Amino acid sequence: MYARALKPLALLTAAAVALTFGLIFFWAPLDADQGFIQKIFYLHVPMAIVALLGFLAAGIMAAMHLRTRDRRWDMRSYVAVHLSIILAVGVLVTGSIWAKASWGHWWVWSEPVLVSFLITFLLYAVYQPLRFSIDDPDRQGRSASVFAIAGAAFTVLNFVAVRMAEAYTHPRVFSQTGGNMPPRMFVTFLVALVAMALVFATLWTLELGSKTASERLRRARRIRDREAERTELVGARATVERPPTAAGATVPTATPTAAPR
Amino acid sequence: MTAASESASAPSESATVPPGAAALRPGVGTVRAALAILRKDLRIELRARETVPAMALFSVTAFVLFHFGLDRDRLEGDVAAGVLWVTVLLATVLGVNRLFDAEREQGGLEAMLLAPIDRTAIFVAKAGALFAYLVVLEVVAVAAFGLFLLGSDLAGALPGLAALLAMADLGLAAVGALVGALAAETRAREVLGPLLLLPLVVPLAIAGAQGTEPLLTPAGSPADLGRWLGLMALYASVFMLLSVAVFDFLLED
């Protein structure tokens, strides 16, 4: 199911990323103030926007999971959170580099987006530990979904709160990503944003496909082991030790209620 | 119990309905069930005194640590506001960690789930218990803070501070009950509870500290109290609605 979409999506993504790099380095103007380092903007800001949308999408998928009780939604939500966490680390690293280059410090508390990302990242860093410290698969999915929904709501609230704190102490003009960008910069930024969204979509499809495939493989193995056990019993060799069953017996406990695909 | 539930389904006998069967009338039953659970929690706390004294003691100890950590005898303004709010929020962690302990250790949750009540009642009761714990904690913590650390006038700041703390408590109660239930099912709950709660309360720390700062500054004026109260109210209402919506799924079995 996911594999079919993967190939065209990957090709489209590769083309979009190539186009973005071309635009960034050969077409977009050099920033008069910051110079070359400003180009990290085309990586940093799209990553931030896509990561945020990823967290929000994960929350919506989690709500779908609770509503429909279809475990595939839980898997989708999980993969979206996972990828968004990786992007969030990227946002923190690139933001830090940009801050060092343009303000001289690796970390600035006066940059609300960066600070919000740190807090959001700290929250979502607990998602996987929480998820994997629950053994029962149904309960694991439900708790993770509740986390993803609360996290999505919190992400929005948190941005409001941090921006309010910032506006209070240092009033600042919304200029860095606002409309007073030269048109070439803005177009490059939009293309970079689309490319980043495509990267996210491709990785999401890839990881989901791989997770679905390994789940199906596990199920197929389980069926095979069961068959083997049955033929063995029919063969009336029950007194002999049964190594294939002993090896296979540990597999079903990992996912007793796999979603039928 | 079955006989009682059956009799309750007849509307004419509603006056003699035992409390357990109240779920058949959604609104009233939920409130009554929540009050019953809340009363049980508060009674346990009053008799065993396991949570609130620990929270209060923690806050006083934290003030002592802050005194030595900052090497200051008296605090004012932003530092005072920060120390007070961070202490209260960290003490909340203790309360949240213990919120579902009685249920988990003695199988009380299964009994509650077997009872024909709306699960929202359990959330409301737990949030109510946490709210009560927090109010008591803050009375002790603010008094101790005024005695040990505060350099400016506490009496003048008290109305504004009380409003901010009460509004923060609403949000903390909602988030705390949700996090408590979420962490209670995990293997590493002592670790996951605080790790989950602390990032979630950052907006309250922002609003609380920013709103309290002018109150504790000698020449300051409480200019923006409404703004920070508004942010806290938004936070509280979002997490209350959210928790009511998702709490059922946490307790399902």
CA-nearest residue of chain B to A157? B235
Give the three-state DSSP class for A35: strand
Digitized pLDDT (tens) for each residue of chain B, 253 residues in all = 344 444 444 444 444 444 444 445 556 688 888 888 889 888 988 888 888 999 999 999 999 999 999 998 888 888 998 999 999 999 999 999 888 887 877 777 777 878 888 888 889 999 999 999 999 999 999 999 988 888 887 888 888 899 999 999 999 999 999 999 888 888 888 889 999 999 999 999 989 998 888 888 877 665 678 888 988 999 999 999 999 888 888 877 6
* C-alpha to C-alpha distance for A18 and A26, rounded to whole angstroms: 12
Q: Is residue A186 part of a domain?
A: yes
State the pLDDT at residue A260: 44
Residues in chain A closer than 8 A to B191 (CB atoms): 129
pLDDT-based confidence at residue A84 (cuts at 50, 70, 90) = very high
Q: Select the more confidently predicted residue: A108 or A180.
A: A108
Q: Is residue A24 part of a domain?
A: yes
Q: Is residue A83 part of a domain?
A: yes
Q: Is residue A84 part of a domain?
A: yes
Q: Is residue A31 part of a domain?
A: yes
Residues in chain B closer than 8 A to A66 (CB atoms): 246, 249
pLDDT-based confidence at residue A257 (cuts at 50, 70, 90) = very low
Average pLDDT of span A180-207: 87
**pLDDT greater than 50 at residue A59:** yes
Average pLDDT of span A120-144: 90
Is the whole model's pTM more than 0.95, yes or no?
no
**Number of domains forming the structure of chain A:** 1
State the pLDDT at residue A255: 45
Q: Is residue A141 part of a domain?
A: yes
For the complex shown, is ipTM > 0.85? no
The answer for A 124-143 residues in CB contact with B (under 8 A) is 125-126, 129-130, 133-135, 139, 142-143
Give the three-state DSSP class for B76: coil
Question: Do the beta carbons of residue B152 and residue B76 sit within 8 Å?
Answer: yes
State the pLDDT at residue A36: 78
Average pLDDT of span A23-37: 78
Four-point Cα dihedral B177, B179, B181, B186, nearest 10:
-160
Q: Identify the contact set of chain B against chain A, taking CB-CB distances under 8 A.
A: 178, 182-183, 185-188, 191-192, 195-196, 198-200, 202-203, 206-207, 210, 224, 227, 231, 234-235, 238-239, 242, 246, 249-250, 252-253
Start-to-end CA span in chain B (Å): 21
| B228-231 long-range Cβ contacts below 8 angstroms, 24+ apart | B228/B164, B229/B163, B229/B164, B229/B167, B231/A160, B231/A161, B231/A164, B231/B203, B231/B206, B231/B207
Min mean pLDDT across A57-61, A153-157, B10-14 is at B10-14
Residues in chain A closer than 8 A to B198 (CB atoms): 122
Among B191, B206, B242, beta carbon nearest to A165: B206
State the pLDDT at residue B88: 95
Name B75's bridge partners: B150
CA distance B125 to chain A (A): 19
Domain that holds residue A72: 2-211
Q: Is residue A247 part of a domain?
A: no
Among A129, A150, A161, beta carbon nearest to B207: A161
Q: Is residue A184 part of a domain?
A: yes
State the pLDDT at residue B13: 40
**pLDDT greater than 70 at residue A160:** yes
Q: What is the total residue count of chain A?
A: 261
Q: Which residues contact A139 (CB under 8 A, 6 or more apart)?
A: B185, B253
